[in-house]
Amino acid sequence: MIGSSGIHHLAVLVTDLDRSERFYAGLLGLVVRTRHPEPDGSVRSVWVEIGGGAFLAIERARPGARKRAPEGPGWHMFALSIRPEDRQAWRSKLQAAGHAVVRETGYTLYVEDPDGNLVGLSHYPLPAP
């Protein structure tokens, strides 16, 4: 039987790769796996580890490309796993870096990356199943 064995990678389009790398790797602590160059030597994509062997490909958006509507169809956000006891520390860290929590639930803090893409920091109320 064929099927999927899990997430291979996700991709996010951004306007400034350096700024986005500072957010995802610097602030959120995701480890850079690799950088992919354009033919001219500039970086076109930065891949960061997101767990389970999967990665997030941070890709340069086409100049002048139209931004997707936040409440329109398409991917809403992705969430990284955090420990419940680290929730307040994450809130403080994000705020200190100028990325205030834009909304929250009992289990998730939502923050926007520098291009307004929504990222969740989520935990289970009890130990994960």
Tokens of 64: 């002048």
Instruction: Centre a 10 Å sphere on the Cβ of residue 40 and count the other Cβ atoms it contains.
Output: 6
| pLDDT for res 81 | 94
| pLDDT for res 109 | 97
Fold of 76-129: 2,3-Dihydroxybiphenyl 1,2-Dioxygenase; domain 1 (3.10.180)
Rounded to two decimals, what is the model's pTM?
0.89
| Percent of the chain scoring above 70 in pLDDT | 96
Measured in degrees and rounded to the nearest 5, phi and psi for residue 9 equal -160, 160
Domain map (residue ranges) of the chain: 1-63, 76-129
Condensed to tens digits (0 to 9), the pLDDT of residues 6-23 reads 899 999 999 999 999 999
- Is residue 98 predicted with pLDDT exceeding 80? yes
Please check whether the two domains, 1-63 and 76-129, share a CATH topology.
yes
- Determine whether domain 1-63 maps to CATH 3.10.180.10: yes
